[in-house]
Structure 1
Amino acid sequence: MSKKPMFSPSLMCMDLMDIKHQMEILNSRADFYHVDIMDGHFVKNITLSPDFVKAVSSVAKLPLDCHLMVTTPDDFIEPLAKAGAGYICPHAETINSDAFRMIYKIKSLGCKVGVVLNPATPIEYIRQYIHLLDKITIMSVDPGFAGQPFIREMLGKIRQAKEWKEQNGYSYLIEVDGSCNERTFKDLDEAGAEVFILGSSGLFNLDPDLAAAWDKMKKIFHEQTGK
């Protein structure tokens, strides 16, 4: 029996002038909130921060899933944990010199741990510690900016993550970040994606009324996948 799909709206794509109201709408609909933390070095953009996580944690009724697009993730782990992060997810490319220490540190602070893979990074890169992860995020666009085209080669990486999970009894969630929308829902679902990060094309641009946009997204998803 297939799992119920899970959805994670990207707070970077919200109307930040109306974020409290929008989060109140999504609290009863979504499964996570995706929070992009960027430092201007690992990627050229700069978006949200630990202070932002602290500010929205009083409104959020869902786990705040913090995606660390930063060169030195260790600088952000404790501040994010104290701010109210539910998941802390650094990029594999930034932690492989001390991945085990970083994973255990995140867990010791009471957070769940995920790892994010850039499109050009093979899943084999995290093979030695994949069993410790609560979530794997597969980037289906190059990181740093919203609105990029879907990289279809990532479907194979999603299938590999699913195969390893099923073969070994791992419990990590398989999440996709980038261009999750009506053009990709079917292929992503069939490949094995379980958590879909929703940005402008997948949710926020569907309707000015966010509740209506959510209903449209769910209808599109059902039409594409039967779920």
Structure 2
Amino acid sequence: MKKVEFSPSLMTMDLDKFKEQITFLNHHADSYHVDIMDGHYVPNITLSPWFIEEVRKISSLPISAHLMVTDPSLWVQKLIDLKCEWICVHAEVLDGLAFRLIDQIHDAGLKAGVVINPETPIETIFPYIELVDKITVMTIDPGFAGQRFIESTLDKIVSLRKLREDKGFQYVIEMDGSSNRKSFKRIDAAGPDIYIVGRSGLFGLDDNIEKSWEIMTRDYEEMTGKVLNYT
């Protein structure tokens, strides 16, 4: 069985326990997910490249930046300068920018990702799909934590897996939104490579991050019937 990867969404962590939580997760998570919102593409303003700098001081795990911004060209170089391993941009703002930004990221030796909103068909990214390293399927509307899980979005994961197998594409598939005990079984059936876990799936389960991780992994195993190699 292929190893399932978990990427904690640091937007939902307890910032009062920043060092404690990152120190623990450094030995358990596969990567970190950092949401960067500009207050225009979505109404919230959250984390920033500065936050990634702070994480870098105490972690060597790969970091995936999820750009929920109107003009990604204003942000990509900042993230390249930080050597952010994954730079992921929404398909909805990539018209006229996709090839240039993907090349810019790849030329820096980093990985380019594209994010698809619940209403966005996967056909939108077909012109450049063979160039991307990761596709993130939003299973909630972007911009807010704790929303209702949109089950129909899982069909995109299934379609992207089949397309990858048929065409020999190399992208990994990630899901983002309401990944928790209630949805683990349905998500697992669709088969993404990476689960982003936030407040409902990890950080909100207990005040202690070690206990939260224990609950999260147990929830996954109980709901899917699969055994994880996490401690």
TM-score of the superposed pair, with normalisation by structure 2: 0.95
| Segment of structure 1 superposing worse, 79-88 or 31-40 | 79-88
| Amino acid aligned to 2:147 | Q
Q: Distance in 2 between matches of 1:71 and 1:85?
A: 20
Q: Does 1:204 align with 2:210?
A: no
Q: Does 1:99 align with 2:98?
A: yes
| Amino acid aligned to 1:159 | V
Q: Which residue number corresponds to residue 110 of structure 2?
A: 111
Displacement of 1:168 in angstroms is 1.4
| Segment of structure 1 superposing worse, 137-146 or 52-61 | 52-61
Q: Is the 8 A contact 1:53 1:84 kept in 2?
A: no
Q: Distance in 2 between matches of 1:125 and 1:138?
A: 13
CA deviations on 1:153-189 (whole Å, 9 max, x unpaired) are 1011111111101111222111000000011111111
Q: Is the 8 A contact 1:64 1:84 kept in 2?
A: no
Paired residue secondary structure (2:182)? coil
Q: Which residue number corresponds to residue 177 of structure 2?
A: 178
Displacement of 1:3 in angstroms is 1.4
Q: Which residue number corresponds to residue 222 of structure 2?
A: 223
Displacement of 1:56 in angstroms is 1.4
- Any runs of at least 4 consecutive aligned residues in structure 1 with deviations exceeding 4 A, and if so which? none
1:23-102 mapped onto 2 (5 Å cutoff) = 23-102=22-101
Paired residue secondary structure (1:128)? helix
Q: Distance in 2 between matches of 1:174 and 1:224?
A: 21
| Amino acid aligned to 1:208 | D
| Amino acid aligned to 1:41 | H
Q: Which residue number corresponds to residue 167 of structure 2?
A: 168
Q: Which residue number corresponds to residue 189 of structure 1?
A: 188
Q: Which residue number corresponds to residue 229 of structure 2?
A: none
Unmatched tracts of structure 2, length 5 or more = 227-231
Q: Is the 8 A contact 1:63 1:86 kept in 2?
A: yes
Q: Distance in 1 between matches of 2:26 and 2:151?
A: 31
Paired residue secondary structure (2:151)? coil
Q: Distance in 1 between matches of 2:38 and 2:198?
A: 20
Q: Distance in 2 between matches of 1:39 and 1:206?
A: 28
| Amino acid aligned to 1:157 | K
CA deviations on 1:48-76 (whole Å, 9 max, x unpaired) are 01111112112122111000000000111
* Residue correspondences, number: 226
CA deviations on 1:91-137 (whole Å, 9 max, x unpaired) are 01111222111101111122111100011000111112111111100
Q: Which residue number corresponds to residue 145 of structure 2?
A: 146
| Amino acid aligned to 2:59 | A
Displacement of 1:83 in angstroms is 2.2
CA RMSD, 1 decimal: 1.0
Q: Which residue number corresponds to residue 120 of structure 1?
A: 119
Paired residue secondary structure (2:127)? coil
